[in-house]
Amino acid sequence: MLFLDEPTIGLDVNMQQAVRDFIADYNRRHGATILLTSHYMADVTALAERILVIEGGRLIFDGDLARLVEERAPHKILKLRFETAPPAARLAALGTLRRVEEREAELLVARGQVTAVAGALLRDFAIADIGIEEAPIEEIVGELFGHAEAIP
């Protein structure tokens, strides 16, 4: 069993990746159980299969990263770049308008509506580029801490 506490804090980007690669390789070669404590989500997403989130001594989440994202982020982020400035009111009708500036916008869309909304956007607007992303893990974990119930 290997215990690691904030293993990449204070390292430059290249060394952070080297440490992550070493840990992952060590795990593959030796089948070791690795207990990683970290506030640095890049380490967590790169290395952890199972995540336990503890707040104030209480376990508030126990599961894999995909389940955490699916349960705690009911929306995806559509990042849009338009040929011309989009009408904000028309965009807001398709989801929650998170940001709109000149020819760019971010729209929060319920997971089950992403395909339909993306289709409507491509059909009804002059889209130069579109990206569909998960909410950043930092936002999801931050939201989890704000609304957490302990797991019995």
Q: Which of 9, 65, 13 is nearest to 40 (CA)?
A: 9
Please state the pTM of the whole predicted model: 0.70
Domain 74-133, CATH: 3.30.70.980
How do residues 87-109 score in pLDDT, each as one tens digit? 888 999 999 999 999 999 999 99
Q: Which of 76, 80, 68, 7 is nearest to 38 (CA)?
A: 7
**Domains 2-70+138-146 and 74-133 in one fold:** no
**Spans of all domains in the chain:** 2-70+138-146, 74-133
Is the domain defined by 2-70+138-146 classed in CATH 3.40.50.300? yes
How do residues 40-85 score in pLDDT, each as one tens digit? 888 988 998 898 888 888 898 899 988 888 888 889 999 999 999 8
